[in-house]
Amino acid sequence: MEGRPPELTWDAARCWRRLPPLPERPVGPALILLTGLAGAGKTTFAHRLAEVAPVVVISSDWERKTLIPSPHYTTKEDRRVSLASMGLVTLLLRRGYAVVCDGAHVSESIRRNWVYQAQRAGARWVVVELIALERWSDNG
């Protein structure tokens, strides 16, 4: 990945440099924002989608591990990861990539902020809520 794009914060640039190879041809800016509780399958869904479509997966778990070697999952860490993620995703959208953003995004205000950023970048967007259903068992 190229050096630090000037419009990125240090944290976002650190994640930018560690991105896997991007799809060869951007398909046009699009944001697929995954929302759901832990264990709902957001990461699995994102990576399965990337197997069949030219999308870039940005995972808050991956970003947290990239930025914070021993995370404690504090509010301060959440904010740091969120700001880095927003900067990274916005840059990818402005460069024409379709991005799957894998994070909880459970509050309406957080989702509205993501949608606003997508609109500013001229991107199409969709919010996908994933829900894990209880598994049924024959054991009663």
Percent of the chain with pLDDT over 90: 70
- Do 83 and 11 meet the contact criterion of CB atoms below 8 Å apart? yes
Looking at per-residue pLDDT, the higher value among 41 and 104 belongs to 41
Task: Give the span between the Cα atoms of 106 and 111, in whole angstroms.
Answer: 8
Using alpha carbons only, what angle is made at residue 110 by residues 74 and 104, rounded to the nearest 5 degrees?
60
CATH number at residue 57: 3.40.50.300
Total structural domains within the chain: 1
In a domain, 136, yes or no: no
What does the pLDDT look like over 29-74, one tens digit per residue?
999 999 998 889 999 999 999 999 999 999 989 999 999 999 999 9
In a domain, 81, yes or no: yes
In a domain, 17, yes or no: no
In a domain, 22, yes or no: no
In a domain, 20, yes or no: no
In a domain, 4, yes or no: no
